[in-house]
């Protein structure tokens, strides 16, 4: 029987993936972990504190729980990685190699996300092919390429069924992202509801590849449930959904918040990172090998973001009134 361990469960992907795993496979077989105390992030189900840099602790928890699948999400994102490259290297690389080693020793399957950041300025921009030049210029990108290679290595050398997706920027309303270059596409919605205006850290015409979280979570589950024999690019499948600029996103937001205003104060670090990534990934291999299809277009995503954020605000207001 499947028994699932999630690392980084309190983060942007982890929060929504854990909820989906609890629904799909049941609360008794899903253990959510994070380096922070569960009181600060856990919503329901089994949860505990775990630092995946501690190999012994990771091995103990995996063995005690009898995990069959590890969804390894703990990582430092692109802009935060540039602020402290050594810390990002340590967490992104040592965390992943520990997970892969424990998986090799215990027979677990592994999912871990890669990113559009695994590409660099020399990669074809539109679209970036599945197999192409990967010379990223950020520490986050370096750890993502190395992570893809580590997953390949553990698959061919030790038979670990390690799978992965190269995600573009992810947009969601449940938990905030932290330290990513694409975070603006989440912050902008909160700002639209709070004060009808936003100062964007990227130039208005910076076109980036993006995906709504509901599609991303479905992609993870579908990849992990795909028959092994159908997968050629087991790790690091390109997946994509939407491409838009901050100016285009602002126009789509004005459909819901007509008074919304945006101005631009590009942050040199984030702008340089965004400019080094492709505008769009070619995801035809994912479509052919395991049937990947995105569902949310820009207007659907924007409408669902406002629905979700307004529901959250109403819930907090009701909670505050009840106290």
Q: Where along the sequence are the contacts to ligand AKB (CB under 6 A)?
A: 77-78, 115-117, 140, 167-170, 180-182
Closest approach, Cβ 270 to ligand AKB, in A, equals 9
Place of tokens 């959250």: 312
Among candidates 279, 7, 318, which has minimal Cα distance to 124? 279
- Closer to ligand AKB by CB, 33 or 240: give it: 240
- Closer to ligand AKB by CB, 48 or 187: give it: 187
- Closer to ligand AKB by CB, 59 or 90: give it: 90
- Closer to ligand AKB by CB, 70 or 77: give it: 77
- Closer to ligand AKB by CB, 58 or 81: give it: 81
3-state secondary structure of 88: helix
Closest approach, Cβ 80 to ligand AKB, in A, equals 8
CA distance 59 to 156: 22
Residue positions annotated with a catalytic role = 140
Place of tokens 């285009």: 248
Task: Give 304-313's long-range contacts (Cβ < 8 A, gap of 24+).
Answer: 304/212, 304/214, 305/171, 305/173, 305/189, 306/189, 306/193, 306/256, 306/257, 308/173, 308/174, 309/173, 309/189, 309/190, 309/193, 310/193, 312/173, 312/174, 313/193
CA distance 171 to 144: 20
Look at the alpha carbons of 225, 91, 211, 34 in this order and tell me if their dihedral is positive or negative: positive
Structure-token pair, residue 159: 């038979």
In terms of residues, how long is the chain?
323
Place of tokens 């949860």: 47
């Amino acid at each position: 029987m499947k028994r699932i361990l999630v690392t980084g469960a309190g983060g942007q992907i982890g929060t929504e993936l854990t909820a989906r795993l609890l629904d799909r496979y049941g609360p008794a077989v899903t253990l959510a972990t994070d380096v922070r105390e569960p009181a600060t992030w856990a919503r329901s189900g089994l949860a505990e504190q775990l630092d995946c840099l501690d190999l012994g602790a990771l091995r103990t928890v995996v063995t005690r729980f009898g995990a069959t699948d590890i969804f390894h999400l703990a990582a430092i994102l692109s802009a935060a990685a540039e602020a402290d490259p050594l810390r990002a290297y340590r967490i992104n690389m040592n965390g992943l190699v520990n997970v892969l080693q424990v998986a090799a020793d215990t027979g677990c399957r592994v999912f871990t996300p890669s990113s559009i950041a695994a590409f660099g300025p020399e990669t074809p921009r539109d679209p970036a092919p599945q197999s192409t030049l990967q010379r990223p210029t950020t520490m986050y990108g370096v750890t993502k390429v190395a992570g893809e290679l580590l997953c390949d290595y553990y698959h061919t050398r030790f038979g670990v069924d390690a799978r992965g997706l190269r995600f573009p920027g992810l947009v969601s309303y449940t938990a905030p992202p932290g330290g990513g270059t694409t975070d603006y596409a989440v912050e902008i919605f909160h700002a639209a509801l709070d004060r009808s205006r936003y100062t964007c850290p990227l130039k208005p015409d910076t076109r980036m590849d993006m995906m709504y979280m509901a599609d991303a979570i479905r992609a993870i589950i579908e990849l992990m449930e795909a028959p092994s024999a159908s997968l050629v690019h087991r790790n690091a499948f390109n997946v994509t959904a939407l491409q838009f600029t901050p100016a285009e996103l602002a126009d789509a937001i004005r459909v819901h918040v007509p008074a919304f205003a945006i101005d631009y104060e590009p942050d040199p670090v984030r702008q340089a990172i965004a400019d080094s990534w492709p505008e769009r990934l070619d995801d035809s291999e994912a479509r052919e090998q395991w049937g990947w299809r995105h569902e949310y277009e820009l207007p659907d995503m924007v409408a669902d973001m406002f629905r979700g954020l307004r529901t959250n605000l109403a819930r907090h207001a009701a909670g505050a009134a009840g106290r």
